[in-house]
A and B are shown apart, each in its own frame.
Chain A
Amino acid sequence: MKLHLHTIKAILLQEFYMTKRSLEIIVDVFYFSVVTVVVYGLTTSYFTRQSNQIYPHYLYVGLLLWEIIRINQYTLSVGALWNIWSHNLTNMFVGPLSIAEYLFSYMFSGLFKSIIVFVGISLMAKYLFQFDIFSLGWINLTTFYINLTIFSWTTGILILGLIFKYGTRIQSIAWGLVFIFQPLTASFFPVDALPPLLQKVAYFMPPTYVFEAARAGLTNPLVDWHSFWISLGLNVVYFALSIWYFNAMFNSSKMNGQFVKNES
């Protein structure tokens, strides 16, 4: 599989123009993140003052890290929808563009946007609410980032596959489906707060290990390599499955005519 730089640059250029000109993308990606950090920053500050405990910080660290998942997945899934809504997807795919290049471009774009947003909201949290996520250490943050990003790509690719297969009638899952993983990955609370059955499910989710390690890191910022490797292993399996699933859905949409119908 050979990736051609010019096609990747084309998609990224379109992404840049769209992000620059679309109020919807600016609101969805940047505004929501900023509002979330401010609202929950105030909430966390209040509860910390009242209880003087670390638990409110569990919520806040989870929220900051969740934005990595949300922005990556959103970019991957909604990027295709913008082209479908504009009736431009066909124009893109009748050119010399492979599906691998298409996915890679949006994964890269999502990563780039999420880094900008994550650094921005982390600095806001640090200077406005005295919550320093960087105190977890660069190695911890990097390992968290790797696993959360791969997971978000996996969900984004799965959702994109569903959109290609079933069309825009299920487009709302591009925004909504990922939130099902908030409770299942114990994003804002320890895993043991979940019912026993869901605890078992949670340990099949790569982000669970990240959120657990992040919470632990708030008191003891040692790198939990064991959790990292389990999370990465699960991620690799799920990512491979999502690519397989996406290919099946994409080919099926071209076989049953849904790919073209998506724009009609």
Chain B
Amino acid sequence: MNSILQVSNLSKRFGTFTAVDNISFSLKKGEVLGLLGPNGAGKSTTIQMLLGITTQSSGAISYFGKDFDKYKRESLQRINFASSFNSLQGKISVLENLLVFALLYDVKNPMAKIKELLTYFEMEDLKDKEYWDLSSGQRTRINIVKSLINDPEIILMDEPTASLDPDIADKLISLIERLRENKNLSIIYTSHDMDEVSRLCDRVVFLDQGKIVAEDTPLGLTKRIKNARLQLTFDGKKSDLEKLLKTDKLKYQFINDYVVHIVAKEKEIPTIIFKASEAGVWITDIEVSKPTLEDFFLQIARIKK
């Protein structure tokens, strides 16, 4: 697959502070790329530069093989943006807002396009409501509708589910999944929610202090964390099990007299269970929590501290 977005050595400095430090990445057709990182990592500044509303200090951006600075209008015509931090014009209705954007993007037959999108998102009944009268979940969905008005090939989504209730956020993610399947969209997605990112993204660029510190699939990133969390519920002497754990130099914490949490490498788990049985400890329940993207995120955050 060819890259439809190429970011090369992009940097942004505000005075002496470097918000984005010489980052390079690409986006392929149909790919969902996550931009992850702690607060202040440079995610939003990167998105802003990709949209042309913040000017980079150095580096280059090219969309569809053309330099963004030289072909800004052409590029912006083929991409769009959705964020929970931006709204549409509050005083006018949903339909009026969407008509404005349909004209802005020179959409042919705008009414038909708006009807199609509102039907797809099951929001036809809201079209005559003023934007300010919508709930935050409805506003976010209308923002997504706006971002699709021009049939974009790339959508940049900056924390679209921030401040949404979990169930509304889940619905929105399902919608984005459907969109991606049906329209073969390429998406750049930033979020603090690791589950969302694991669910949606094919690849993740992990930023910290403006630099790319990791780039991989969500699974690939989690595999970088070797340890899993093991919860054993047991029947037997606590001291016998503790002796075994100490001998194997494992990190553990007894929750009570019959439940223990152990941190161990995944491949060590069968051995631990086998040895416990041999020591006369009867394991009644086993729960293994594999490393998640959140663990990777926390690991980066802890290294930072």
Q: Could you list which residues of chain A lie within 8 angstroms of chain B, going by C-beta atoms?
A: 4, 6-7, 9-11, 13-14, 17-18, 21-22, 82-83, 85-88, 90-98, 251, 254-257, 259-260, 263-264
Evaluate contact between B105 and A95: CB separation under 8 angstroms. Answer: yes
Please name the residue on chain B nearest to A97 by beta carbon: B104
Evaluate contact between B73 and A88: CB separation under 8 angstroms. Answer: no
Which of A90, A94, A260 is packed against the most chain B CB atoms within 10 Å?
Answer: A94
Asked, given contacts A6-B103, A10-B103, A96-B105, whether A257 binds B54 with beta carbons under 8 Å apart, the answer is: yes
Evaluate contact between B101 and A95: CB separation under 8 angstroms. Answer: yes
Interface of A is mostly: helix
Interface of B is mostly: mixed
Evaluate contact between B91 and A94: CB separation under 8 angstroms. Answer: no
Residues of A within 8 A of B83 (CB): 90
Nearest Cβ distance between residue B158 and chain A, in whole angstroms? 10
Query: Bound state CA distance, A5 and B130, in angstroms?
Result: 27
Nearest Cβ distance between residue A78 and chain B, in whole angstroms? 13
Interface residues on B, range: 35 or more
Evaluate contact between B90 and A86: CB separation under 8 angstroms. Answer: yes
Evaluate contact between B91 and A260: CB separation under 8 angstroms. Answer: no
Evaluate contact between B104 and A256: CB separation under 8 angstroms. Answer: no
Closest 8 CB pairs of A and B: A10-B103, A10-B104, A6-B106, A87-B87, A17-B92, A94-B51, A96-B77, A14-B100
Q: What 0/1 pattern do residues 85 to 101 of B give for CB contact below 8 A with A?
A: 11111111100100111
Contact of A96 among B45, B54, B104 (CB under 8 A): B104
Nearest Cβ distance between residue B106 and chain A, in whole angstroms? 4
Evaluate contact between A98 and B73: CB separation under 8 angstroms. Answer: yes
Evaluate contact between A90 and B96: CB separation under 8 angstroms. Answer: no
Evaluate contact between B92 and A94: CB separation under 8 angstroms. Answer: no
Please name the residue on chain B nearest to A258 by beta carbon: B54
Residues of B within 8 A of A91 (CB): 81, 86, 88, 101, 146
Nearest Cβ distance between residue A104 and chain B, in whole angstroms? 14
Query: Bound state CA distance, A193 and B217, in angstroms?
Result: 76
Evaluate contact between B52 and A94: CB separation under 8 angstroms. Answer: yes
Which of B54, B73, B100 is packed against the most chain A CB atoms within 10 Å?
Answer: B100
Nearest Cβ distance between residue B263 and chain A, in whole angstroms? 40
Q: What 0/1 pattern do residues 135 to 169 of B give for CB contact below 8 A with A?
A: 00000000000100000000000000000000000
Evaluate contact between B104 and A21: CB separation under 8 angstroms. Answer: no
Which of A93, A96, A256 is packed against the most chain B CB atoms within 10 Å?
Answer: A96
Evaluate contact between B104 and A6: CB separation under 8 angstroms. Answer: yes
In the assembled complex, B303 has its CB within 8 A of some CB on chain A: no
Evaluate contact between B104 and A95: CB separation under 8 angstroms. Answer: yes
In the assembled complex, B76 has its CB within 8 A of some CB on chain A: yes
Query: Bound state CA distance, A83 and B54, in angstroms?
Result: 18
Q: What 0/1 pattern do residues 30 to 57 of B give for CB contact below 8 A with A?
A: 0000000000000001001001111100
